[in-house]
Chains A and B, each alone.
Chain A
Amino acid sequence: MSATLTTCPYCGTGCMLYLLSDEQGRLVGVEPSAGHPVSRGQLCVKGWNAHAFVHHPDRLKTPLIRRQGALVPAGWDEALNLVHQRFRQIASAHGPDSLVFFSSAKVGNEENYLLMKLARAGYGTNNVDHCARLCHSSTVTGLVETLGSGAMTNTVACLDETDLVLVIGSNTTEQHPLIGSRILQAVQRGCRLIVADGRRIKLSRHADLHLRHRNGTDVALLNGIMQQILELGLEDRDFINARTENFSALQQSLAAFTPDRVAAITGLQADEIIAAARMLGSAQRAMLFYAMGITQHSHGVDNVRAVSNLALLTGNLGRPGTGVNPLRGQNNVQGACDMGALPDVLTGYQKVADPAMRERFASAWGRPLPERPGLMATHAYDAALADRVRAFLVLGENPLLSEANQAHVAKALARLEFLVVVDIFPTETTAVADVVLPAACYAEKDGTFTSTERRVQRFRRALAPPGEARADWEILSALLERCGISADYTGPSQIMEEIAAVTPSYRGISYPRLEESGLQWPCPDHDHPGTPILHQQNCTRGKGRFSPVDFRPSRELPDAAYPLLLNTGRTGMHWHTGTMTRRSHLLDREEHSAFIEIHPEDAARLSIRDRQQVSVESRRGGVRVMATLTDRVPPGQVFMPFHFVEGAANALTNNALDPESGIPEFKVCGVRITPC
């Protein structure tokens, strides 16, 4: 029996756990780390089942190449040579920007770094992106503008010393359970809680105030709260004077957001908005938490700006127990962003458009780098349909189920000349690939993940990968070598040394310093203890900037033809497209099939019984799922998780994009439902 300390592969909370294996080397269970500052001897249900998919017989064990229409086993050299040869051919025929590289928020920092190096130095394109485009691209855009850094400003432990928590657009107990439970513990000790969410999520049962505003009206709600804070004189004048800029513009922009007008837009009572303003304005220390309910809108960046404005207005920044706290959804989505798996920045958010930054990397890598920022992942599908993009390499993602408007994505992937997918299991996307490369999962390799609180921590190899599967860093190194770039790394530790050398915020990070519970960036030198709280004296950009925003409705609201508002998201049991959790026995048993939550009033009007199969249609597609009658959703709204291929929520969702961040509007579109 051995016990390997590692980091949970699911959400961005960053719990550490021991993987336990038996004498034969098979994983038999999980035990939480007692001393870790976030997990503290506890885990959520996915963490307790983090071993359960690893030995599943479906694991990909050998490279596959499509021959005469079918994927057939091949050797590594043959598969890698084919990938390189085809990428070279396509790049030389159509230019390097005809290639697109999708990195992964599931793999390590070192692997994200190598993929963006491969795209930029190896094949000469900035067309590299990952699924942060679908989750927190709005945060990165919005908070960089207002604060100078797009990451969670504070730390999970700050919940132990805050007076008030506002949770807006985050089902925290299901999506970040060890943060959600810490919020519940704070409530138990007397901390006040405001939940702003149309759904009656678990946290709302403990809230002092539950604001069930209409999906897509967050800007109006937040502006309304801020207007009342000013009206009541509860703003933090000292903080505003000393630490912020552009306040008068904010003040003017808020004038129109009177309680009555905001009530009309949001569906709330004016009193509720005033009550929220009083609570937020009078708290000594308030933490603002948000997630996809804020970001996944065609006005996602504006939503983020509004949250940031609220924190600045009330002086809730730079101190323990405060902060703007976007909760990162995946184990390494923070790290994938930090590593520059984005089309416009290199590691540590160093802009590709800046010649000095490019030079730093060009001299480290010995290759000139492309200047023009690349394509966002969500724009790559249109580019493929227009033949501007001809080949994709997809690392550890399943876009056929995770992107908005599935039919559009399917058409775009079918149009490609060449699709390579690296994954641990067969997925809907590997099924249409030309080459599939089998990867080691988190338990079979070494590396680092960066959690939502910017904590860089180790994951460790507990067993060998199945069959011929290889670690992603080994696969990417092999492709780098084929591009003529030396990549004979001894392991991820050496890759981290290279990352630290070119990344100011990671400069002090090295494997020996990460042994137990990691380090929070920025960590600028080898003696630096890390930074739990950002923006303490000044914001990263200097002054915190108020960025006034106006209310823009969602792009497709319910109408006569599609009368119900579809909200989508995740459940506590499953993970994204189900690749891992649907192969974990207990998790799959708990939620075994696709469903849609519908309010009993709507169900009665449509003659739908509980657990009945229904047809759900939007302007983009239709699916059959089971109806779950519940007052978790308000009348007029329905909710579907996007985990299930047999009832894919993203067959319905709208790929209307935020003009700045390129995030799709996963949270609002119109649907109609009919009983089957």
Chain B
Amino acid sequence: MLKRLDRSDLEKLLSALATGYRLLTPQRLADGTRLLRPHGEGALALQGEPVQRKPTEAFFPQHDPLLRIGEQGEVTTCDPPVRPVALFGLNAADLGCIAFIDRFFADPPADDHYLARRKDALLVGLTGFSGPGGDVLPPANGMCDLELLAFGQNWLGVPWTPRGEALLEGFPDGEQAEVEELLESARTRGNPAQDLLEKAAGLVASEVVPDDFWREVGDRCILCSGCNLACPTCTCFCVEDRQEQAVTLRSRVWDSCQFDAFMREASGHNPLGTEALRTRRRIHHKLAADVTRWGEFGCLLCGRCDRVCPTGIGIQAVAAEILARFGP
């Protein structure tokens, strides 16, 4: 089933989503920041760079209360909001990232807190000609309930789940030929960043990158932790306890493997006690360890760590340097 939506159809679809879900849509704020925001708060920004904040925060927030421990030691859990979220406007990389951490949090022992937010959530991909300046984006290939491929002034709606199918019911049919044309356009663009990552990953995994390189890159790290906070596949968190009037509130908080304290032992010894080792770990984890564990890179090339890094040592920048210096 393929549907064709014009602007008013799109508005209808969004209204339908807003009745059943807490709907977040991409909007550009006054300073130029593009974020997923509650639908209706601002004008839709349907084209552009990926939304700045990682969409995985809808299921795994930066600061997330987990439970309360009362005076007598009784524990009550902090239940996530009942109303499920619908994320509208995700590109293929972000959908890949959500799938990546879905697998991580669902892997036994499953993370109930994550799954409670995630289970009824709805994902709507936005691909086709919806990149920066109307560039074509790669298709989502089924990692969402429903995909909208931007095409001229219209959108081709592709349902990937029964829920997606139900949402598209009633809209006029689309032409498969139009999808093919769009997919061909995305195919001919290729994906040079993916090639770069694969070649750099090969060099990282084969241990040809010397320690001096990691020291040089580590020397450029100002320890902002932004690379981890911005990364949609980073799932490390720490636990914060706060006590107020004999009740302890336990929350989880996004952590960063670039912190010294992340691996520091109580003795003070740290097996990852230098910036060089921590930087190596950051890149190695995504390009080598995740491949061993999950069979794919932990980097889906969303571009956020490169954008957020104040000194230009995001994963794509480092991969390019590795390739330039140690490649064939």
A and B are partners in one complex rather than unrelated chains:
yes
Interface of A toward B, CB cutoff 8 Å: 1, 3, 5, 16, 18, 20, 22-23, 27-36, 41-45, 47-48, 51-52, 55-57, 173-174, 177-178, 180-182, 184-185, 188, 202, 205-206, 515-517, 572, 585-586, 589-590, 592, 610-611
Interface status of B285 (Cβ within 8 A of chain A): no
Q: List 16 A-B contacts (CB under 8 A).
A: A1-B24, A5-B29, A20-B62, A28-B61, A28-B64, A30-B62, A31-B35, A31-B53, A33-B32, A42-B308, A42-B310, A45-B225, A48-B226, A586-B255, A592-B261, A611-B268
CB closest chain-B residue, reference A56: B242
**What are the residues of chain B within 8 A of A3 when measuring CB–CB?**
29, 35, 37
> Secondary structure of the A side of the interface?
mixed
* Pairwise interchain contact A177-B219, C-beta atoms closer than 8 A: no
Which of B33, B220, B238, B261 is the one whose CB lies under 8 Å from A31? Answer: B33
Q: Knowing A185-B312, A590-B259, say if A34 contacts B34 (CB, 8 Å).
A: yes
* Pairwise interchain contact A31-B52, C-beta atoms closer than 8 A: yes
**What are the residues of chain B within 8 A of A188 when measuring CB–CB?**
312
Write the nearest CB–CB distance from B201 to chain A, whole angstroms: 24
CB closest chain-B residue, reference A628: B268
**What are the residues of chain B within 8 A of A5 when measuring CB–CB?**
29-31
CB closest chain-B residue, reference A57: B244
Cα separation A180 to B308 with both chains bound (whole Å) = 15
* Pairwise interchain contact A33-B226, C-beta atoms closer than 8 A: no
* Pairwise interchain contact A517-B224, C-beta atoms closer than 8 A: no
* Pairwise interchain contact A586-B311, C-beta atoms closer than 8 A: no
Which of B31, B224, B245, B261 is the one whose CB lies under 8 Å from A35? Answer: B31
Write the nearest CB–CB distance from B134 to chain A, whole angstroms: 19
Write the nearest CB–CB distance from B239 to chain A, whole angstroms: 9
Restricting to B44-65, which residues have a CB under 8 Å from any CB of A? 52-53, 57, 61-64
Cα separation A515 to B31 with both chains bound (whole Å) = 9
* Pairwise interchain contact B307-A45, C-beta atoms closer than 8 A: no
**What are the residues of chain B within 8 A of A585 when measuring CB–CB?**
238, 240, 253
9 more contacts with CB within 8 A, not counting A202-B219, A572-B222, are A16-B31, A31-B35, A33-B32, A48-B226, A51-B63, A177-B224, A180-B222, A182-B310, A585-B240
Q: Which of A1, A205, A517 has the most CB of B within 10 A?
A: A1
**What are the residues of chain A within 8 A of B53 when measuring CB–CB?**
20, 31
**What are the residues of chain A within 8 A of B95 when measuring CB–CB?**
none
Write the nearest CB–CB distance from B105 to chain A, whole angstroms: 19
Write the nearest CB–CB distance from B143 to chain A, whole angstroms: 23
**What are the residues of chain A within 8 A of B164 when measuring CB–CB?**
none
Cα separation A35 to B308 with both chains bound (whole Å) = 13
Write the nearest CB–CB distance from B63 to chain A, whole angstroms: 5
* Pairwise interchain contact B238-A572, C-beta atoms closer than 8 A: no
**What are the residues of chain B within 8 A of A611 when measuring CB–CB?**
268
Write the nearest CB–CB distance from B75 to chain A, whole angstroms: 19
Cα separation A586 to B35 with both chains bound (whole Å) = 25
**What are the residues of chain A within 8 A of B255 when measuring CB–CB?**
586
CB closest chain-A residue, reference B242: A57
**What are the residues of chain A within 8 A of B6 when measuring CB–CB?**
none
Cα separation A590 to B38 with both chains bound (whole Å) = 34
Interface status of B81 (Cβ within 8 A of chain A): yes
Q: Knowing A29-B61, A585-B240, say if A590 contacts B260 (CB, 8 Å).
A: yes
* Pairwise interchain contact A33-B219, C-beta atoms closer than 8 A: no
In this complex, the interface size class of chain B, counting residues with CB under 8 Å from chain A, is 35 or more
* Pairwise interchain contact A181-B222, C-beta atoms closer than 8 A: yes
Q: Knowing A1-B37, A586-B259, say if A206 contacts B61 (CB, 8 Å).
A: no
Interface status of B223 (Cβ within 8 A of chain A): yes
Q: Which of B24, B33, B81 has the most CB of A within 10 A?
A: B33
* Pairwise interchain contact A36-B261, C-beta atoms closer than 8 A: no
**What are the residues of chain A within 8 A of B32 when measuring CB–CB?**
33-35
Interface status of B194 (Cβ within 8 A of chain A): no
Interface status of B309 (Cβ within 8 A of chain A): yes
Interface status of B86 (Cβ within 8 A of chain A): no
Interface status of B150 (Cβ within 8 A of chain A): no
Q: Which of A23, A42, A177, A178 has the most CB of B within 10 A?
A: A42
* Pairwise interchain contact A185-B307, C-beta atoms closer than 8 A: no
Q: Knowing A36-B31, A178-B310, say if A589 contacts B238 (CB, 8 Å).
A: yes
Interface status of B136 (Cβ within 8 A of chain A): no
Write the nearest CB–CB distance from A306 to chain B, whole angstroms: 29
Cα separation A92 to B226 with both chains bound (whole Å) = 55
Write the nearest CB–CB distance from B51 to chain A, whole angstroms: 10
Cα separation A202 to B221 with both chains bound (whole Å) = 9
Interface status of B148 (Cβ within 8 A of chain A): no
Interface status of B229 (Cβ within 8 A of chain A): yes
Q: Knowing A57-B243, A181-B222, say if A516 contacts B31 (CB, 8 Å).
A: yes
Q: Knowing A3-B29, A33-B33, say if A184 contacts B38 (CB, 8 Å).
A: no
* Pairwise interchain contact A34-B310, C-beta atoms closer than 8 A: no
Write the nearest CB–CB distance from B161 to chain A, whole angstroms: 25
**What are the residues of chain B within 8 A of A29 when measuring CB–CB?**
57, 61-63, 254
CB closest chain-A residue, reference B239: A585
CB closest chain-B residue, reference A573: B223
Q: Knowing A33-B33, A36-B31, A590-B259, say if A181 contacts B223 (CB, 8 Å).
A: no
Write the nearest CB–CB distance from B258 to chain A, whole angstroms: 9
